[in-house]
Amino acid sequence: MKLTTLPDGTPDGRLHVVSRDQRRIEPAQGAQTMQALLENWDGFAPQLEAQYAALNAGGGADFDAAQALAPLPRAWQWLDGSAYDSHGDLMQKVFKMDPTPKGRPLMYQGMSHQFLAATADVPLPSEADGIDFEGEFGVICDAVPMGTDAATAQGHIRLLVQINDWSLRTLAPIEMKTGFGWVQAKPACSVAPVAVTPDELGEAWRDSRVDLPLIVDLNGARFGAAEGYPMSFGFDELVAHAARTRVLVAGTIIGSGTVSNENFREIGSSCIAERRGIELLDLGAAQTPYMQFGDRVRMECRARDGQPLFGVIDQAVVAGGS
């Protein structure tokens, strides 16, 4: 099934069921919010699946995706991986970091109290911070016990989402070199309007990976079309990694990291930093500028048959902060 959250004046918004073609919508029965659903998935999901089937047959109101909030407008926990080695290896070269040993997922904890809507303006304090997008996929889990293994973790993946992990590249290497991870370099992320259950992807949900391309356009020009499948660790393994020493609260969101493929010179990138890294290696200097206020990024992942899945992220960065 497909779900979205519409504004209702509360911080968590109102959960809605969306038809498969993403044209029709109805307030969710039972669960008032996405968080409530994730806290009692087994209790609410059967009724919602029935509602989804009925909505696909007809009825409901028109869905205006531009009105949607992030599917989970705030979450108790956001843990972002970096599971595409072609991206990670390149960034380590560019930042002159020691290569990290393989065999262990990379993951940091990011800001989770605010996820921006997919079409909302993105207020950031300074163009000098190196404003960049990161197109990625994510999963939302129900509660995961400490010590859960990857095989069991797979069953806790309830929803898939598409994320823009906003990044400030002037600050990122400074924070990374401390070993403490990112605070200033990682402001609020944006999330595409529709969260989908894994079965909506059919065979494209494969080995706990999204086997579909993420199309990224910057100011109307194609920037990247990287495939989601080549993660060095599947989401099941990322969830298990996160749960190694902690309980994962229901509504934990876990990200893939910037989608990236080995042939990034041909298919492009899901963030500017990667393209600049390629330019640095190939041309001796980065040439593509980071974003300026007013610049827009668009991200979309559709099924192979063209059916919409997560909806579209399409938003501009604007001057913000006091």
Cα–Cα distance for residue pair 136/227, rounded to 1 Å: 10
Taking residue 148's Cβ as centre, other Cβ atoms within 10 Å add up to 22
Are 251 and 39 a contacting pair, CB within 8 Å? Answer: yes
Are 99 and 296 a contacting pair, CB within 8 Å? Answer: no
- Among 53, 61, 66, 97, interactor with a copy of itself by CB under 8 A: 97
Amino acid at 33: T
Cα–Cα distance for residue pair 38/3, rounded to 1 Å: 12
- Minimum CB separation of residue 5 from a copy of itself in Å reads 17
Residue 55 CB-density burial (10 A; 0-12 exposed, 13-18 middle, 19+ buried): buried
Cα–Cα distance for residue pair 250/35, rounded to 1 Å: 7
- Among 13, 71, 110, 213, interactor with a copy of itself by CB under 8 A: 110
Confirm or reject binding of residue 37 to a copy of itself (CB under 8 A). no
Handedness of CA 34, 182, 66, 11 (dihedral sign): positive
Confirm or reject binding of residue 170 to a copy of itself (CB under 8 A). no
Binding segment for a copy of itself (CB under 8 A), chosen from 19-27, 76-84, 199-207, 273-281, is 76-84
Q: Which is nearer to a copy of itself, 76 or 229 (CB)?
A: 76
Torsion (CA) 215, 241, 199, 54 in degrees, nearest 10: -100
- Minimum CB separation of residue 242 from a copy of itself in Å reads 6
- Minimum CB separation of residue 82 from a copy of itself in Å reads 7
Are 230 and 41 a contacting pair, CB within 8 Å? Answer: no
Confirm or reject binding of residue 181 to a copy of itself (CB under 8 A). yes
- Minimum CB separation of residue 136 from a copy of itself in Å reads 15
Are 124 and 320 a contacting pair, CB within 8 Å? Answer: yes
Site track for a copy of itself across 183-222, x = CB under 8 A = xxx-xx----------------------------------
Confirm or reject binding of residue 30 to a copy of itself (CB under 8 A). no
The token pair at 49 is 């699946």
Binding segment for a copy of itself (CB under 8 A), chosen from 190-198, 207-215, 225-233, 246-254, is 246-254
- Among 111, 150, 204, 225, interactor with a copy of itself by CB under 8 A: 111
Interface residue list for a copy of itself (CB under 8 A): 74, 76-77, 79, 82, 95, 97-98, 100, 104, 106-114, 123-125, 129, 145-148, 168, 171, 174, 176-185, 187-188, 241-242, 244-247, 249, 252, 320-322
